[in-house]
Each structure stands twice: as structure tokens, then as C-alpha cells.
Amino acid sequence: MDRFKQIDKIVKLLLIKRERALTEHEQETLNDWVNESEGNHALYDDLMDETKIPRKLDDLVQFDQQKAFREFERVAKQTKVRKLYRNAFKYAAILIPFVIASWLIIQQNREVKETPIATVVSEIGPGSSKAILKLADGSVVDLEVKKDLIADLDGIVVQNGPKEILYSSQETPQKHEEIQYNEIQIPRGGEYLLILSDSTKVWLNSETSIKYPVAFASNVREVYLQNGEAFFDVKKNKNSPFIVHTSKMAINVLGTSFNIRAYSDEPELTTTLITGKVSIKQLDSDQSSNLLPNQQASLSATGIAIKNVDVNKYIAWKNGRILFEDNTLEEIFKDLSRWYDIDVEFKKPASRQLRFSVDVERYENLSQVLDILELTKKADFNIVENTIIVN
């Protein structure tokens, strides 16, 4: 199995090399392999020759996987039937409620299908990896365009990839005289992964901006979430606490993962803890509260409230899903408008408070999400340019 690890590593490096320049370390690893033998060298030259790809793909297509799969399916079903029969009694007891439930669902769906629903004309695609980087000297880089950006900032190497930007310190951290700050802004319809110089990972959602030091001071790590939503997976370091500052509170952590939602146009600011322990301190107040895993702190005009929550709902965005459970249409469209970069217009104010549950892939087109909402028959939608009109 370890042999395959090496194989995977080389293949990944070869694939990356097609996309961007390799870092020094990556290039060294690849060179070691290339120089191992003449055969490796010849293979390397072959694989880097793009004109060979179409012929090789032709070879692969010859093997008809669909036909082979159909054959497999036939054989597999026979074996499964035998196994099922053996346990028929056991299965029947388990299955009956499901059969009844699915019959009910089918009946319901049938009704839905008979009623005409508004058709969605144009496709609106999901968001993607987009970000603007502001350097300490004020200059600005569009990370979506500069995919192969590599820069050296004061001993810290900054490297941009397809979906992430990575700060890495090559040598042991030294005292930097003056802390240099960079800033990332995610537009509507964007997301990005930021990996800080201490290896802390920060997933950034649409319409978010964060300011952070290129290299951290030795005794404390401080970042500033100025607006938006971010998921933090903080690298443990007992000697250097990690503090996230937002407009209204500061979150102090030692090594843990959590989600902060701090949009300036929303009344509440929430922190949801997944693992570890954090303490939250409200600005202009001495009140500070500790949070345990699966708890959420909401800060509103009335102060901090702590409750137990199902964290999956709050970090679904980071896991590539759009997940709502019994949320109002207003809440749902607030998120959708950020990710799909759309505007929303409610024809009747009452429909803002309708409640829905949704669970779909974040990278689906908007129409998929609207279809699910329309299935409930409680609402239907029209799309005019980039505005969704809720009837």
C-alpha cells in the first residue's frame, strides 16, 4: 500500500505541473523520481507531451465501461437476491414501514406533478473560487486570474492555487520587527480557502473580508474578520493563543475548529463550535462566555445567548452543501443571493416567513434549488435577469 502512496504523489505532482509552476519543494520531489532511472525520465517526457493525451484517451474509450457495468449488474443482482432471500424474514419486518412511507411519498409527488409549476427559463450557475488579495503596500491582486502567483513576503512564501491561497514560512519563525497585514475580500458568488503561515486553515464564504498578518507575532495570533462568514481550523499552539476579532466581539482559542458568521447586514453574530474550546468576549463589556463543542453563541442587541445546536447545518457551506432545516424563505434567500449573486424580490411580504427545508449540492445551478422549493407548492418563482421574484 505504501508503494501506492508514492505513485499517487508522483501523479499529483505531474498533474499540478500541467496547471502551474511547482514550488521548490515539489520540484525537488519530482526531480528525485525523474532522476531515479532512465525509465522514469523517459516516462516523464512522455507524460508531459500533451499531444499523446488524445491517443491514450482513445485507447481508454475502447473499453466499454457501460456495457461491462450492465453485465456486472446482472450478475450482482443474482447474488444479492440469494442473500436477501436468506434474510427475508428479518428484512420484511424492517422494510414494511419504509414501503408504506415511500408509497405515501409517491402519492404526494404524483399530486405535485399534476399541478403546473412556473418554469425557470435561464440557468444561474453557482459561485466559484474567487478572491481579491490586498497586500501590505496597498496593491491589489485578483486571485481568480493570477492562479500561479508565487511571492516571497519577508521570508514567507505566498502561493495561490486553484481554490486556495497558502502562506508558508520556510524557516523557523523569527521576530519580525513590524507586522505586515494582508487582506482578502471574497465577492458575492465566491469562496476561497486561506491557509495562514501557522498552517491554520480558514474557509471563506461569499461576501467576506478578513485581515491577517503575513507572519504572526511570536506570542499571539490575531486576525480580523471584518465582515462575512468563515470556518476556522486553528493549528494548536499553547504558547500563542489565536484570537479572531469581529466588529462586536473577540473569540479566543487555543486549537480548535469553529464557524463564525458575522455579516454586517444581519442582526445576529453567531459562533458555532465544532471541536475544542473557545471563549467569547463582547466588546465594550466585561462579559465573556465559554463555548463547548456543539454549542452556538449568538450575539444580538440583547447580549450573548448560548444554545446547543446541530453543527452540520452551520458548516454545510464549507462541506459543499446548501442545507436548511425549517428556515424562513427570507433567511434562505439571504444565503442564496450571496452564493449565486442574485437579488430577491418578495411580491407579498407574508411569503418571507414561509418555512422550508432544503438539502442540495452547493455547486448545482440555482434552478435545482428553486425546483425543490417549488415542489412544496408553497411558493413559485420567476427569474428576471438576475432577480428572483417570489410570487
Partner 1 sequence: MEKGANILELINQKRIDGYKYLYANFYPSLCSFASSFFKQNDLVEDIVQDVFIRLWRSDSKFNSTRALKSYLYFSVKNACLNSIRDNSKLSDIDFSSDKEIQTIVLEDKSIEQLLIEEEFYRQIHVAIEKLSPERKRIILLSLEGFSNKEIAEELDISINTVKSLKLRAYSVLRKELSWSVLLFLIKMMK
Contacts of 20 (CB under 8 A, 6+ apart): 147, 148, 161
- Would you say 65 or 287 has its CB closer to partner 1? 65
Q: Does position 199 bind partner 1 by CB under 8 A?
A: yes
Q: Does position 138 bind partner 1 by CB under 8 A?
A: no
Q: Does position 125 bind partner 1 by CB under 8 A?
A: no
Q: Does position 73 bind partner 1 by CB under 8 A?
A: yes
Q: Does position 145 bind partner 1 by CB under 8 A?
A: no
CB of 228 to partner 1, least distance (A): 21
* Inter-CA distances, 299 with 45, 95, 266, 282, 329, Å: 59, 46, 11, 8, 22
User: In angstroms, how far is the first alpha carbon of the chain from the final one?
Assistant: 57
CB of 4 to partner 1, least distance (A): 4
CB of 344 to partner 1, least distance (A): 27
Q: Does position 98 bind partner 1 by CB under 8 A?
A: no
- Would you say 46 or 343 has its CB closer to partner 1? 46
The contact mask relative to partner 1 for 36-55 (x = CB under 8 A, - = no) is: ---xx--x--xx--xx-xx-
Task: Give me the phi and psi of 45, to 5 degrees please.
Answer: -60, -40
- Using the contact rule CB under 8 A, the part of the chain among 1-9, 265-273, 342-350, 367-375 near partner 1 is 1-9
The contact mask relative to partner 1 for 266-285 (x = CB under 8 A, - = no) is: --------------------
Q: Does position 66 bind partner 1 by CB under 8 A?
A: yes
CB of 247 to partner 1, least distance (A): 30
Tell me which of 11, 21, 283, 384 binds partner 1, using CB under 8 A. Answer: 11
Tell me which of 134, 188, 201, 313 binds partner 1, using CB under 8 A. Answer: 201
CB of 377 to partner 1, least distance (A): 30
CA-CA-CA-CA torsion sign (163, 169, 173, 178): negative
Count of residues touching partner 1 (by CB under 8 A): 56
Q: Does position 312 bind partner 1 by CB under 8 A?
A: no
- Would you say 19 or 359 has its CB closer to partner 1? 19
CB of 8 to partner 1, least distance (A): 6
Tell me which of 65, 275, 353, 391 binds partner 1, using CB under 8 A. Answer: 65
- Would you say 6 or 300 has its CB closer to partner 1? 6
Task: Give me the phi and psi of 274, to 5 degrees please.
Answer: -95, -55
Binding residues vs partner 1 (CB under 8 A)? 1, 3-12, 14-16, 19, 39-40, 43, 46-47, 50-51, 53-54, 56-57, 59-63, 65-66, 68-69, 71-73, 75-77, 79-80, 128, 161-164, 166, 168, 193, 195, 199, 201, 319-320
